[in-house]
Amino acid sequence: MKLTLTPPRHRRGSALMAVLWIIALLIFLVGGTSLLVMQDVEFDSARRQAFEARQLAESGVSLAMHPDVKPDDPLLHQRLSAAEELDVLVTGEDGLINPNILLLQEDRATLRRILQYWGITDLPTADRLINNLIDWVDADPYEHQPGAEAHAYNRPGYPFNRPFRSVEEMAEVQGMELVEQAYPNWRKWFSVYASGAVDVNEAQPELLSALTGADLRLTTELRNRRLGPDGIPHTEDDIPIADLASAASQLGLSVADPAGLSSRLSVSSSTRRIVARARVGNMTRQLSVVSRGSPNGSGGPTSILWMREE
């Protein structure tokens, strides 16, 4: 007689559970490994796209720095493919005021007009603030009367007694809180990188009026004319002011002192701000640069004064 040994039912159930547990563990391990691999692939792809976007932005900056490339050049706005885009904005930095030049020259008349436009109309208050600004940028420790040197700040190293290295640094000067209250957008009038002579083809009407004393109505009309029919800056229909004599005529300024006029105004910017925005896939990189060089290429090589990636 042949005997057949049958495992108890509970043992068969335990073996089945063990097999199912092992299968589940394997599925978990395979799924986890696949997820890690997918994450690595996505990370590598994003990193590659970010690198390529940065390269594309750099190429846009290089293109914009070429002296023959104008702000309205179609090459600055390109859709290279469905996954790649480049957009470069070029503006004249000389449309802004370099505060260091005004202060080191102690051009009080211009500084008073600017403060008056901002709402600082009390002359003693304006003169005190001008002296405080001059005391900050001049190299000596002697205080203008009234002014602000070391004893007025009671902080080690203040004032810096050197030109401003950023517009934001101007807010550290004693009395600038009055300007902050009266005209919060004052920072948009200045650039420490501007060459000094304000470009009438780039300056805003308010700034140009305060700088020159010209009527705001005339500076607004000048801006509207140079923007052309579409009213948009840096487009093909712009009608830039060709020379200082034309600018002076339109602004009602005297040309009796051509040298003095040319020291304050210009019709082009040797300093330009370039903002290059590039997209590759889902990654976007923006590179901002301030560069200096002759607009027509006759002033030697172009140099980069400031750069930031965003």
pLDDT tens sequence across 186-217: 999 999 999 999 999 999 999 999 999 999 99
Q: In one letter, which amino acid is 43?
A: F
- What residue has token string 């052309």? 228
Q: In one letter, which amino acid is 305?
A: L
pTM as predicted: 0.82
Does the bond joining 124 to the residue before it have cis omega, within 30 degrees of 0?
Answer: no
DSSP 31-61: HHHHHHHHHHHHHHHHHHHHHHHHHHHHHHH
Assigned token pair, 260? 């003095």
Q: In one letter, which amino acid is 163?
A: P
Q: What confidence score (pLDDT) does residue 303 get?
A: 86
Q: What confidence score (pLDDT) does residue 236 get?
A: 87
Domains of the chain: 50-94+272-309 (3.30.1300), 101-186 (1.10.40.60)
Q: Are 88 and 60 in contact (CB under 8 A)?
A: yes
Q: What confidence score (pLDDT) does residue 13 get?
A: 59
In the sheet that 84-92 helps form, which strands lie side by side, from edge to edge? 77-81, 84-92, 271-280, 283-292, 303-309
Q: What confidence score (pLDDT) does residue 249 get?
A: 92
**Closest CA relative to residue 243, chosen from 287, 199, 293, 275:** 199
- Give the Cα separation of 294 and 260 in Å (integer): 21
Q: Which residues of the chain have pLDDT under 70?
A: 1-21, 24-26, 28-43, 256-259, 294-301
Assigned token pair, 28? 């978990």
| Bridge partners (DSSP) listed for residue 280 | 84, 283
Q: What confidence score (pLDDT) does residue 47 get?
A: 83
- What DSSP designation does 270 have? S
- What residue has token string 């750099």? 58
94-to-194, 202, 204, 290 alpha-carbon distances in Å: 5, 7, 11, 11
Q: What confidence score (pLDDT) does residue 35 get?
A: 62
